Structure 1
């Protein structure tokens, strides 16, 4: 009895698998096209095959052009071949504006649409409607930037903007909140402050100041008396890595000498022990009392460039290397050609190649920007397209 149940279960799973295979990649029957003709004209078409169609006199395809294509996808045609009156209008493209889309996908003659501009934009010459007349739209509205809108918000050192989404323009009265980075605060306020777009300008942003601890005081005179208190001149663990050109009285190879004329300070940077570690940064130079740091590529130094070794054996405040780049994983964007992860510095923009559609007559690219530390990926356009057409 158990064996029969097990066999029945196996057959059920197998049947479902066969059914799944049979229902995927289905061919398409020839579409029913009134007032038009198909090329090639067949009884059935394989999955992912394409056909071309055109329409009789007085009719036109429900897409741009007098010839149109449609693709078979799992038993259905996309887009559905259709011939409409040549006096009908196709949906217009209104940059920075929206309107009610007809469920038919097209509009009859004398149909009127009303365009609503996006926030931060207004109707040029107060034209907000368009009428379909003999297959074309009359007086298509244009949404232009409002003179009271604001552009990109100001960049504030040591602060980031807290908001979702990205845009080139911001509507009047828009508020954006800044927050100081860790280790910084706004004087006389919290760690956050909001700026507003007023009459085309942003109100004043915050000033983020570093939170500092009391230092050990200024560098004093030489330690000990004459002949005593000199630090050892050897020991690789106490010497900074690399040489650099800013070496003070050090010798070649980046090692400080133990000899002195008696008028020089009698301590070296090695009196403070190992150089402070700055993630994503390196010591690129030093003098008798300080180390000089630089950050790796795609990072920006935040804080003092030089770190001083005080006479009591302690280091002054240490900088840190702040992230100064964005990244985009092309494999995470289906419209981009797979090329791994691409890195960009703050404020940089690049064009990445798109996956080519067979209907495109030229290469397409996607504009990618690094804004406020975030990556913005726009739609695909040709290299000849206007900026407003793509982003």
Structure 2
């Protein structure tokens, strides 16, 4: 019985060795752009595969790359890389592409037009496998409007010459009425939806008697109500500066345009010291009369107490009767002003380094 048992054990070992699985390779690893359609799911040992790039991609090597399935069930290495072909971005669109001049294969450009413009052409374009675009960039053409109708008892003055029966988006015009009537609104335009502004109504308009302004006067006017577009001119009293338009006009709303303002001069509010005014260095006693006009600058001199002993200028501006004195300015006493004037900040060497402007003290009015 012993030999028969040995034979049975040997037959079991032989049966076990015949069913050992054979090594195979799965689908080879691929990167973007490599053609996968021709690849199988399983390959036998020593079976080879040639990798190629998809349409629209360029290979990194001139010769095809072959891979082999090894006895360990792994693939040999491949250095093939596939890069997408590039489509040149049309030059008119490059400012919108943030500095890019090309776009890769499969990129999509979407086009839109601004309000008031109509697109002529496709609204998108795709980068094709041959490095060209599927559609050219479209054109954006301005919307057309029928020429506007003039108001009853009036006419239209176009900003630019027109021809034909239409005008384009954004073009404007002014409505005018036969005197003394005024239009309910003066401006019209060709709008984004292709409609022109409706004509206004011409109506009688008048403005009140021209008002007076503080520290100023009307140069010439009859004190009566004024009709649309009539004007009145103002001027200021001596040493006052006119701010705004000197001439006002009666508007279509029955009100006057913005009134000018007369700004007051300023007094330099120190008793002792030297200033710079109108490019001249003056002792305050020599500023006669003590008056600077609105908007003019006066420079004061301050002493640098940190580091080198030197003087530095700080400017202040007259603002409608108020001239602020820099906080760093110290008015000298009578003795320093009369006997030791050469030691004042305005007379000693000026600082070589630029010092920060000093804040100003409470304003001093004229």
Q: Under TM normalisation by the shorter chain, which class is it? A: under 0.3
Q: TM-score, normalised by structure 2?
A: 0.28
- Structure of greater Rg: 2
